[in-house]
Amino acid sequence: MLEATPLGDGWILRYESDTPAASVPGCVHTDLMAAGVIPDPFLGRDETEVAWVGRRDWTYERELGDLSASVAHEQTDLVFDGLDTVAEISLDGRPLGTVRNMHRSYRFDVTGLSGRLSVRFVSAYAEAEAVRGRLGERPAAYAEPYQYLRKMACSFGWDWGPTLVTAGIWRPVRLERWSTARIARVRPLVTVDEGVGVVELAVDVERTRGEAPLTVEATVGGVRARATVDGSGGVVRLRVPDAEVWWPRGYGEQPLYDVELRLLYGEDALDVWRRRVGFRTVELDRRPDAHGTGFTLVVNGERLFARGVNWIPDDVFPSRITRARYRERLEQAAAAGVDLVRVWGGGIYESEDFYDACDELGLLVWQDFPFACAAYPEEQPLRGEVEAEARENVVRLMPHPSLVLWNGNNENLWGFRDWGWEPALAGDSWGEGYYLGVLPRVVAELDPTRPYTAGSPWSGSWRHHPNDPAHGTHHSWEVWNREDYADYRLSVPRFVAEFGWQAPPAYTTLRRALPGEELAPDSPGVLHHQKADDGNGKLERGLARHFAVPDGDFDRWHYLMQLNQARAGAAGIEHWRAHWPVCAGTVVWQLNDCWPVTSWAAIDGDGREKPLYHELKRLYADRLLTLRARDGRLEWAAVNQSAQDWRGTLILRRMSVEGEVLGQAAVELAAVGRTVARAGVPRELTPVGPKEFLVADAEGLRALHFPVPDRDVPYPAPRFDVALAPDGITVTARTLVRDLLLQADRLDPGARADRGLVTLLPGEEVTIGVSGWRTPDVRSARSALYCVEPTR
């Protein structure tokens, strides 16, 4: 049987005359921090103090000892699951090979060798600049040369991320000793055929003895089958009667089946492969219709409105992301009502831990291939690297039922057409051959069970603009960059794959990241942790359309910016969900952050939930109630994404800001499962002028409509009572209290609230659960409560 020996210990990092211990998996930055050589680049402006690290070459070393083949094993392989990025590997001075792709694994035959193992990493900058020198300039959204090598693009910085260009052995390394043959690859095709689960396992083997007769034996769901290995491969098929179907969360359960495949020489097991699979079907409906060209995911025959979030690497040093951290972040997503996670193309193919958690939680995965916001050369050796990494990762991720879509790139087709690339390239290669050639060919050959789309955004062909909202996927960024978020309501894209609004992280996250700094919107550290072009300017212009921008009151500025982010998300999602099935999904930019920063994230770099996160719980719930102006009239809409019909009474109240009910009506609400019901609001209940608003209530859900921006509403001075409650606080309103928010981290750095923004009418109360609050008291609770106040 193949034996694997981990090689995580005993490494050193060559740094001038010192040789600090190195962690494997890990990277140069984390090793230098552990040794006290560099400061934490997440704090203050120390990111700039460590920029030199990415410009140097680095060497990892350790002793391997004698690797002579024993009697029991004919061959010994040195296996790296991930090297970041360009490296020369040698053993006792003997070259083993050169690698140049962070997204691949590597294997070297070291049978009979011994001595000191050395992995010398060349600066990613040096390699990228050398490739650029050979192939010529390629345009990109950022000045850094990330498009010239196969490395996590956002390690070169992004409009939410620091520039920390890493190097290191970022995934596990081991020795594998084996004889006769080993399993080189298993490609599982998992389908459902008229209620029967079908698993087809295509097996590739590597041999030391070509004549040895081999078989493979597979088991799944109590079914066992064998097949002969013919030369270097074989196929074994299994049918599982009455297989339970895997569903996305909210649509059913997530049964998973253990699959085991053994490679046999006679009855002796030489190697074993184990995974979990789920039985389900997935299609992408892109048929043209009266509204354009659709983009609707269909799982097990059920058409879905995708309630999605974009995922970036959860740490700029991805080797630090543990299985527990993946699970925590993805459980946060599921708890917010999310059912789809898009793994964005400027990052990585995530570890098995990520996809395992998605399988278990019922989170659909949209997987980008790692290309983002740049023209990518297609010449060799890059072209060969792209195909090799695609082949490896398609097969690696195929067992996961959560994976439902392959996507060729992020914004590159759009960039070619709209960002001035086409004339600048003057005929040079830019990546189209990958997105419309190599990648769909690889997916069609290896994983025909899943759909592929060439990019996001992408209209389906060059007959339409790549970002045409009527065709395929759409990225809505004009709103954040130039317009008011109310303008989300001006169009109905077929699928909104990116949209978002910024806000600062939680107060305690900022305080930790900027120790000793007097916080202000334009203080040095706050500006350093804002990476978007004119980010604070866009924040303040966006706020000024709705609120008076606070002058000199950071706490008030911080609250209003977080409120405005939640309002922006609500404006888009409420509108687009109400237009199902024309619009078939929203994917918020973004779920998470990779460090403490002002960004579009719902969960900040320290893992704290912003108000947007809690707002997503409402926006992505199976049932959503909304009020909106349409065709010159106010309309209510009841979005019912559950399978059960929603029938009840909708109470509409026209009210004054002083709390007086000016008119009221009860109307029938009836929304069949998986549909949207809508009707006009009686004209006599339509609020008139700045002092009036409309409240809609149904079965514990509420929607509000104010006809003017908050800055024009004559809110009363908010009055409310605060009392301690078991595991939280109770707030009782004495006036209208608009968008009350408990910033729990101000009570205790480890405290979390179970809800975000809430509007209370006079006499109403709410209990906010708080966990992690070590010494509860009313005074501190009141000081951590914020709400909308009258414009001064």
Catalytic site positions:
411
Cα 53 from Cα 165, distance rounded (Å): 8
Which residues does 642 contact at the CB level (< 8 Å), separation at least 6?
Answer: 250, 622, 623, 673, 674
Q: How far is CA 260 from CA 220, 232, 265, 451, in A?
A: 7, 19, 16, 26
Helix axis angle, 323-335 to 352-361, nearest 10°: 30
Q: Which amino acid is at 348?
A: I
**Count of other CB atoms within 10 angstroms of residue 539:** 25
Helix (H, G, I), strand (E, B) or coil at 686: coil
Q: Which of 466, 481, 676 is nearest to 589 (CA)?
A: 481
Q: How far is CA 634 from CA 118, 417, 418, 471, 697, in A?
A: 70, 38, 37, 28, 15
**Count of other CB atoms within 10 angstroms of residue 647:** 14
Helix (H, G, I), strand (E, B) or coil at 389: helix
Cα 44 from Cα 455, distance rounded (Å): 37
Cα 608 from Cα 507, distance rounded (Å): 10
Helix (H, G, I), strand (E, B) or coil at 785: strand
The string over 154-183, giving b where at least 16 C-beta atoms fall within 10 Å of a residue's C-beta and e elsewhere, is bbbbbbbbbbbbbbbbbbbbebbbbbbbbb
Cα 402 from Cα 366, distance rounded (Å): 9
Encoded tokens for 358: 């998605």
Encoded tokens for 648: 């009840």
